[in-house]
Structure 1
Amino acid sequence: MRSLHHLVTLVVLLAASVSTAVKSSDDLRGSGITQLTYTKQAVFGATVSSWCGCTLLSMLAFREVYWPGSNTYQVESTTKYWSTTTWNLPQCVFVPQTAKSVGVGIWAARLCSTDFAIRGGGHMPVPGFTGTKTGILFGLSALNTLSLSSDKTSVFVGPGRNWGEVYSFLAPHGQYALGGRIQQVGVPGLLLGGGLNFFSNRYGFAMDNILSYECVLANGHVVIVTADNKYRDLFWALHGGSSNFCIVTKFELKTYFIPKMWGGLGTFVGQPNFDLFYSFITNFTNSAYVDKGAGLVSLINFAPGQPDLGIHCAGHEGDDPDPAIFNEFKKLAFNDDSIFGMMTDTAELPKILGRVIVGQRHVFRVQSSIASVDALKIVHETFYGLTYSKLVQNVPSVTSCAVAIQGVPVTLLEKGASNGVGGNTFGINQTQNYFWYNIYCTWADAVDDSAINAWVKEVGADLSAKFRQAGLTGNGGREFLYLNDAQGDQDCFAGYGPNELTMMKKVRDKYDPRGIFGVNGLSKGGFKF
């Protein structure tokens, strides 16, 4: 231990030769090593701390650290990301093989005051949320556990997986786990932010189906978090609290025997169809308790040179080839390329939808309202109005833009209360049905980044103001912003219940007293309190 201490001290002192200060750390006292921090002169910026953290980590876990110029560095910092807007070039890339290695990475970052970012599946399109231009990128690709329990009632999934891989693994067993509806979506971000699924009306959010978490805390310790052990409070907070508490290195999810499903994707054009479309979505959401096995997400879409397009993505649990709840749905004059019917297995629909959502650069923004036809008419007029008056002229490289409409009925919200810890963190008024809207765009040229981000913000701001003016905000006037679909500047936690937010802050301060995962902490990115 003494030689390791000398080695660590040498690295940090070399990095911090400009100015150093030493202080003890209660969190690291058990290791017998003193934490060193240093003051960085402005001329060095983050370079000194970044070099220190990466160099120290490469000594402690040399097989897991990659530097610029290596193929793994390139893949982990670019290719693993869904949107090119999130590409960054960190000082080094750390690809931990185990949860204990993640703890070593946190320890090295803390010792050198090195910023770090965490990337799981890489689907989050917010720049800077899962990457860093300095410091250490924790690429969780190697934490790729995928294992079914012996009784097939749960599946263990690592944060390096995406939902297409999970469904394809479970399908041969006739099993299913609640996760993303598109195969490219990563596992950890969706689960920590909520998680909507075609079967959520029956089973709740994906987060409400988590049995346990394997977590690495801010002090580097690896813990198992469940609803009935001493980490019960952390178990609750991770249900919607995002990345404010720890790094999750494994999830245990409930599985359900769902060997078959009906579903598909349909498109249509024309205003009469849009009127039927909005009526059906509203009726479906407000009467979802009639058939809890049914799910739906709908979009209104713009693409240059094409007519305004409506899109329905539907799913139904079981082997009913003609679910009655979709009878009104059939009145729409779908285009010839529409696909509906029995799926060969539950992995097929996410693959179909994954082929539809393509592009290079991506942005999300989220808004919400009470579920009503009036709200959908506001969305239609605002989205297409601003598209043709501003977007077309200002963003020449736009590929497509859409508003995804997600019905959130009371039956879905109520499922959270049965997760074993008194509900999730959302604190939403459960007497109302809602629509959540994901305003989404893809484009090709980075030159258009500012213009398209400004346009998306304008659409969102207009919708929010019009909903409030029409009395359609709901949730006691606190517009709920679902963080999995949010833009980086949105204050998602402002829409959570005030009691829930207070409790989450207490949990954060208990497990991360130094604020490593906090808004000003070493862990960069993600939505913070």
Structure 2
Amino acid sequence: CDALIHAGLRDRLLLPTSPSYEARIETWWALNTRLRPWCLIQPHTTAEVSTALTALLNTTTSTTTTTTEYSAGAGDWHIAIRAGGHSVNPHANNIDAGVTIDLGALNATTYDRDTNVASIGPGGRWKDVYAALREGWGVAVAGGRDGGVGVGGFLLGGGLTYFMGRRGFACDAVRAFEVVLANGSVVEATRDNEHGDLWRALKGGGGQFGVVTRFDVDAVPDRDLAYGIRFMDARYAPALVDVLVDFTDRYEEGSGDALVAFLTYNASINAGAPVAAAIHVNTDGERDSPGFAGLNRIPSLQPDSTRAMPLADAASESQLSSGTWNAGATLSFKNDARILSHALALHSQLTASLSASLAPASFQSTIFLQPLPAFLGAISARAGGNILGLGSSSHHQQQQTRNAIIWTGAVAVTTGPRDLAVARTALMGMARELRDFAEGLGGGDGFVYMNYADAAQDPLGGYGAGSVALLRDVAARYDPLGAFQTRVSGGFKVSRVVGV
């Protein structure tokens, strides 16, 4: 931290002796990510991010981005980068023995009517971004569904939104990234400039090439959503599976519908019995969209909750509570009722296993199921491509001509890290068993959505050989000494991908 003081950033530091440090640590979403860095540095400008990186990595720079070397004095301890702090992986955005660069102050949202582009800081949270765009300019962007999620990690990981039927992944709407590289230089990466390779790599490649300090994103008209959550007795979960399979196969590009099905166990609700549910949204505000006709035929535990709602309010309503120890894992597979039914059975087994080894009231377990339609690759291609590999000629050639499902498992524990370790082990076992079952039916799919992945998973390797090759080339060009591969602790690294 002395290096930051010597660089003139004393006023941006939070030290462990400060009450502000303690208050800031408590803003990390999951308790298991509330690590204790030697200090937090909170830059307010891109220039301050550059100064901080240069001081921490102690780099010297020539006039090009490819001739950088470290000089002595800053040590070799590690750095973490935090935008919203919502990952469940402990070192994704924080660190114990090192310095965390906290981008929370880089949270401005502006809009240019001439270009229809919103410029958004990485430290913003989606509910605030939506509110600012609606109140200031009457527009929106296709961003996060959970209002507490930060902008930076969400967009760099791809981004699942309510607008996927028309816009694809959230990263497909990013026109430009402002990026501070390891040597402190600042570049703007766009589709058509000399940094087009970096632009594509950042669209799903994570924060492993530099610190993004601004995202320029195509705006969309701001309309109230038709938003609802339908809760069902778990005995109707098989019917919900059938609805999801049919919805996914009928899902057409241009649709304003979005559907997320889930099954959850929480001892404090429904007398401790599992509950099936579905979040259903129409982005045109169509309350009785025919796409949800099958869903509406399933008996509900509550009266119909569908109502007109601003995007910011929907994001707030979908915001997950913080203050627990959390783990999550994800995979994808063919849109097949047999695989989905097995996922339901495995969740029941997980709940029974954890209830036997932990106090039943000490944990919550959930599986989320959402469409991954084949047409997403075409949307991405028209937007200049991303790095996710969906629809590419070299990756998932058979799989990505068919519709798929993204499965996500999540556990939340109230009783501490030891019980979290038990729950995470069981969760990862469930994920492996489901993957093996899907592959046994010829329904496996290597795509692993980065933002939901456990640290032990390999989303980058799942993008395919062509994408991995580009990621390696971009890392070599923009970070030739590998600072973000070795000194920045968090996220998934192309240097760790094997066998691709």
Q: Tell me the TM-score normalized by structure 2.
A: 0.90
1:432 aligned partner, one-letter code = R
Match of 1:240 among 195, 200, 204: 204
**Is the CA contact 2:253–2:375 (under 8 Å) kept in the aligned structure 1?**
no
What SS class does the counterpart of residue 35 from structure 2 fall into?
A: coil
Instruction: Give the aligned partner of residue 149 of structure 1.
Output: 112
What is the distance in 2 between the residues matched to 1:398 and 1:426? 39
Instruction: Give the aligned partner of residue 462 of structure 2.
Output: 495
Q: Identify if the C-alpha distance between structure 1 residues 338 and 306 changes in structure 2 by more than 3 Å, giving closer, same or farther.
A: farther
Over residues 459-496 of structure 1, what are the superposed CA-to-partner deviations in whole Å (9 max), with x where a residue is unaligned? 1111111111121104xxxx211110011111112211
2:326 aligned partner, one-letter code = H
What SS class does the counterpart of residue 460 from structure 2 fall into?
A: helix
What SS class does the counterpart of residue 524 from structure 1 fall into?
A: coil
Instruction: Give the aligned partner of residue 460 of structure 1.
Output: 431
Match of 2:21 among 49, 73, 79: 73
Q: How far 1:270 moved relative to its partner?
A: 4.0
Q: How far 1:506 moved relative to its partner?
A: 0.5
What is the distance in 2 between the residues matched to 1:332 and 1:175? 35
What is the distance in 2 between the residues matched to 1:174 and 1:528? 38
What is the distance in 2 between the residues matched to 1:197 and 1:485? 14
Match of 1:133 among 85, 96, 99: 96
Match of 1:386 among 345, 350, 360: 350
Unaligned runs of 5+ in 1: 1-53
**Is the CA contact 1:192–1:238 (under 8 Å) kept in the aligned structure 2?**
yes
Alignment of 1:327-476 (within 5 A): 327-336=293-302, 339-343=305-309, 345-354=310-319, 357=321, 359-388=323-352, 390-396=353-359, 398-420=362-384, 422-428=385-391, 429=396, 430-446=400-416, 447-474=418-445
Match of 1:525 among 470, 477, 490: 490
What is the distance in 2 between the residues matched to 1:93 and 1:417? 39
Q: How far 1:359 moved relative to its partner?
A: 5.0
Q: How many residues align?
A: 464
**Is the CA contact 1:240–1:426 (under 8 Å) kept in the aligned structure 2?**
no
Over residues 343-366 of structure 1, what are the superposed CA-to-partner deviations in whole Å (9 max), with x where a residue is unaligned? 2x2222112111x55552211111
Q: How far 1:321 moved relative to its partner?
A: 2.6
Over residues 68-120 of structure 1, what are the superposed CA-to-partner deviations in whole Å (9 max), with x where a residue is unaligned? 111232233x2221101101111111111111111111111122133110110
Instruction: Give the aligned partner of residue 175 of structure 2.
Output: 211
What SS class does the counterpart of residue 196 from structure 1 fall into?
A: coil
**Is the CA contact 1:359–1:442 (under 8 Å) kept in the aligned structure 2?**
no
Q: How far 1:209 moved relative to its partner?
A: 0.3
**Is the CA contact 1:359–1:399 (under 8 Å) kept in the aligned structure 2?**
no
What is the distance in 1 between the residues matched to 2:430 and 2:30? 21
Q: How far 1:423 moved relative to its partner?
A: 4.1
Instruction: Give the aligned partner of residue 66 of structure 2.
Output: none
2:255 aligned partner, one-letter code = K
Q: Tell me the TM-score normalized by structure 1.
A: 0.85
**Is the CA contact 2:165–2:253 (under 8 Å) kept in the aligned structure 1?**
no
What is the distance in 2 between the residues matched to 1:278 and 1:96? 47
Report the identity percentage.
Answer: 26
Q: How far 1:512 moved relative to its partner?
A: 0.3
Match of 2:146 among 170, 179, 182: 182
Instruction: Give the aligned partner of residue 63 of structure 1.
Output: 11
What is the distance in 1 between the residues matched to 2:23 and 2:389? 35
Instruction: Give the aligned partner of residue 227 of structure 2.
Output: 263
What is the distance in 2 between the residues matched to 1:411 and 1:403? 24
Over residues 131-150 of structure 1, what are the superposed CA-to-partner deviations in whole Å (9 max), with x where a residue is unaligned? 11111110111111111113
1:185 aligned partner, one-letter code = V
Match of 1:117 among 56, 64, 80: 80
2:174 aligned partner, one-letter code = I
What is the distance in 2 between the residues matched to 1:90 and 1:353? 30
Report whether the alignment pairs 1:168 with 2:131: yes
Match of 1:95 among 32, 42, 47: 42
What SS class does the counterpart of residue 457 from structure 1 fall into?
A: helix
What is the distance in 2 between the residues matched to 1:232 and 1:328? 44
Over residues 163-203 of structure 1, what are the superposed CA-to-partner deviations in whole Å (9 max), with x where a residue is unaligned? 11111112233311111111111111110011001111111
Q: How far 1:450 moved relative to its partner?
A: 1.4
Q: How far 1:290 moved relative to its partner?
A: 7.1
Instruction: Give the aligned partner of residue 191 of structure 2.
Output: 227
Q: How big is the alpha-carbon RMSD for the aligned residues of Structure 1 and Structure 2?
A: 1.6
What is the distance in 2 between the residues matched to 1:423 and 1:86? 29
Name the stretch that deviates more: 305-314 or 240-249.
305-314
Q: Which has the higher contact order (CA 8 A, sep 6+)?
A: 2
What SS class does the counterpart of residue 342 from structure 1 fall into?
A: strand
Q: Identify if the C-alpha distance between structure 1 residues 334 and 359 changes in structure 2 by more than 3 Å, giving closer, same or farther.
A: farther
Over residues 291-317 of structure 1, what are the superposed CA-to-partner deviations in whole Å (9 max), with x where a residue is unaligned? 611111110111124221111011112
1:207 aligned partner, one-letter code = C
What SS class does the counterpart of residue 240 from structure 1 fall into?
A: coil
What is the distance in 2 between the residues matched to 1:480 and 1:385? 25
**Is the CA contact 1:482–1:492 (under 8 Å) kept in the aligned structure 2?**
yes
What is the distance in 2 between the residues matched to 1:449 and 1:306? 20
What SS class does the counterpart of residue 216 from structure 2 fall into?
A: strand
What is the distance in 2 between the residues matched to 1:229 and 1:291? 29
Q: Rg: which structure is higher?
A: 1
What is the distance in 2 between the residues matched to 1:357 and 1:312? 18
Match of 1:298 among 246, 249, 261: 261
Report whether the alignment pairs 1:278 with 2:245: no
1:136 aligned partner, one-letter code = V
Q: How far 1:426 moved relative to its partner?
A: 2.6
**Is the CA contact 1:408–1:435 (under 8 Å) kept in the aligned structure 2?**
yes
